[in-house]
Structure 1
Amino acid sequence: MNYPVAEQQFAAPAAPAPAFIGQGTAVEQSRAVAEVQAAVIVARQFPRNEALAVQKMRTAFRQQTLAARSFFRFNRGDGNVNGETIQFARELARCWGNIHHGLNELRRDDAAGESEMQAWAWDLESNERASTTFVVPHVRFTKTSGRKPLEDPRDVYENNTNNGARRLREMIFSVLPDWYREQAKEVANYTLENGQGDRPRSQRIADCITAFENLGVTVQQLEENRAGRTSEKWTNLDLAQLQIIAESIRRGEVTVDEEFPQQHVTAAEVVQQHAEQAATASAAPNSSWPKARTPGSGATS
């Protein structure tokens, strides 16, 4: 007697491979793999000289222009936020050597108004790699208009780059030694305070005032920002901090109004001012009243 054979269940077939891969894509994939392998081999054959790296770092951050672009400052809440810029981190990576870093846009969704980004840094010698993936909304926040959607491709690109620079900076710092970073900060701060020793302090103060006047900041605002000290009493540290503020304003990290807020007059000050003006007016003689005639001063017939 023949029995019916049970129906066999088979797993679903795997997804078919792409039918065609362009020659350009295949060449690019092979080139990327070969480039990474070559970079690792070169890094192992020519390891970094830490003493030479420190020497290169000190030479670089003794330059006034680089030291001025190494720090940022902006207001947040009731305090100030200070730190190192992406230019500072990139220069450290260049001097340290055998470090690759980059910022990639993985996906852009114009319908959802966001981009998926990746920032990474890789030490080719120690094989230490740090990366982070994050989403950047296609919006810009301003105090006047609030949340403003970005539609122009150039605005979206600049917004993604600005947001990615902060993550890239942290990835570079994570693969660099802490002592190396701290030494670079000390050299850059010293350069800001004393790097223009060939110019008299009075000339540096005058140049600082001129630079801020071009930004719309008065001398009175600068003196109030320096704890009420007059300009002739500014120290080298004061000038260095003002230079950092000026660079942050030029880069758009902080506005003039945020760093130098206008002084608002209170109601009590207005009342006191009116009272002082009234008291002054009552004490002064009123020239509009007719003068009293003295006897014999009238006209004779």
Structure 2
Amino acid sequence: MNYPVEQFAPPAAPAPTFIGQGTAVEQSRAVAEVQAAVIVARQFPRNEAQAIAKMRTGFAQHSLAVRSFFRFKRGKSPVSGETIQFAKELARCWTNIHYGVHELRRDDAAGESEMQAWAWDLETNERASTTFIVPHTRWTTEGGGRRLEDPRDVYENNSNNGARRLREMIFSVLPDWFREQAKEIANTTVEKGQGAKPLAQRVADCIAHFEGLGVTVEQLEENRSGRPSEKWTNLDLGQLSIISESIRRGEITVEEEFPQQRVTVGEIKQQHEQQPAVTRQAEEHEPAGEGSSQWPSARQPGSGATA
């Protein structure tokens, strides 16, 4: 027996019964805008030599180079890469690139938004897009999540998630060699630092800046693989400037990047065993009165006492 194909076809999505005048005008305007952009891109194609020159000039600026990279910790491993500002600057220099992020649907009852990020090279007609779901939840470093109810918090959460997808879409339509050249130039600019200050002065300025954030020199030296500050290089200062910018943008906190050093029970026991026998005997027979302590002194977080 032959069954009609319509019997197995999914039901069609209901079409809107009424389209207002404003919606119709906006649809026509969007179509005309896309057609005009394609025509202009074909009439004025990009000049790759000029694009490279614009890219080199842009990423030679220290303010842009520092904002081109991010760094944060996921678990115990650091995660780093290029920011959305880096991708947008590449698209601007390459020219004839359209990109954007759209919120397709918001479901407050389910606590999620459906979004789309896309990038389009108008000359080559190469287009990359991705559709993804963003939960209305803010995850903490402890592993838990908090439901977002404030519309402003939901908007900022969607924007942050959309920016990461948009960055990858822009990278998808750009040549890899163009991106790698820009990254190399930006890294060199960050390492050189801003201005013509000598290296020692830049080290001192860096230490003073992080001390204002509550970070000690010892914590900075431990972050730089235990190297003392007098042996820091331009690369060390460049990485610290990227960390500072990531802290300013809220991608990582000071406590996450520079955890407080705590003395363990094993370290206290080892220190006690290393004391001379006479001193230990005196401590064992000393009465625990006012002003005395039953435990060896230990470094407390944020204090200047030594163990």
The TM-score normalised by the length of structure 2 is 0.84
Match of 2:91 in 1: 93
One-letter code aligned to 1:54: I
Render the CA deviation track for 1:185-225: whole Å, top value 9, x for unaligned.
01001101124351111221121112212222111100111
One-letter code aligned to 1:281: T
Query: For the Cα contact (< 8 Å) 2:51–2:95, is it kept in 1?
Result: yes
Identify the range of structure 1 (164-173 vs 144-153) with the bigger mean alpha-carbon deviation.
144-153
Match of 1:226 in 2: 224
Match of 1:104 in 2: 102
1:279/1:133 CA distance change after superposition, 3 Å: same
Render the CA deviation track for 1:208-264: whole Å, top value 9, x for unaligned.
112212222111100111122221211101100111111111112122222112223
1:156 corresponds, among 138, 147, 154, to 154
Cα distance in 2 for partners of 1:177, 1:15 equals 39
Match of 2:163 in 1: 165
Cα distance in 2 for partners of 1:180, 1:248 equals 24
Render the CA deviation track for 1:141-184: whole Å, top value 9, x for unaligned.
11358210000000000000111111000000000000000000
Match of 1:261 in 2: 259
For structure 1, which runs of at least 5 residues remain unmatched after alignment? 1-10, 289-301
Cα distance in 2 for partners of 1:183, 1:108 equals 39
1:241 corresponds, among 236, 239, 242, to 239
1:29/1:144 CA distance change after superposition, 3 Å: same
Q: Report % sequence identity.
A: 76
Q: How many Å apart are 1:274 and its aligned residue? A: 2.9
Identify the range of structure 1 (274-283 vs 32-41) with the bigger mean alpha-carbon deviation.
274-283
Cα distance in 1 for partners of 2:248, 2:14 equals 54
Match of 1:298 in 2: none
One-letter code aligned to 1:152: D
Match of 1:62 in 2: 60
1:15/1:134 CA distance change after superposition, 3 Å: closer
Cα distance in 2 for partners of 1:123, 1:141 equals 35
Identify the range of structure 1 (188-197 vs 101-110) with the bigger mean alpha-carbon deviation.
188-197
1:131/1:19 CA distance change after superposition, 3 Å: closer
Cα distance in 2 for partners of 1:63, 1:92 equals 14
Query: For the Cα contact (< 8 Å) 1:62–1:195, is it kept in 2?
Result: no
**2:129 alignment partner, SS class:** strand
Q: Is residue 82 from structure 1 mapped to residue 76 from structure 2 by the alignment?
A: no
**1:121 alignment partner, SS class:** strand
1:153/1:25 CA distance change after superposition, 3 Å: same
One-letter code aligned to 1:128: E
CA RMSD of superposed structures (Å): 2.3
Cα distance in 1 for partners of 2:84, 2:16 equals 40
Render the CA deviation track for 1:50-94: whole Å, top value 9, x for unaligned.
000000000000000000010111122342211100000000000
Query: For the Cα contact (< 8 Å) 1:117–1:134, is it kept in 2?
Result: yes
Alignment of 1:105-124 (within 5 A): 105-124=103-122
For structure 2, which runs of at least 5 residues remain unmatched after alignment? 1-5, 287-307
Q: Is residue 182 from structure 1 mapped to residue 180 from structure 2 by the alignment?
A: yes
Query: For the Cα contact (< 8 Å) 1:117–1:135, is it kept in 2?
Result: yes
1:281/1:189 CA distance change after superposition, 3 Å: same
Query: For the Cα contact (< 8 Å) 2:193–2:238, is it kept in 1?
Result: no
The TM-score normalised by the length of structure 1 is 0.85
Match of 1:125 in 2: 123
1:108/1:18 CA distance change after superposition, 3 Å: closer
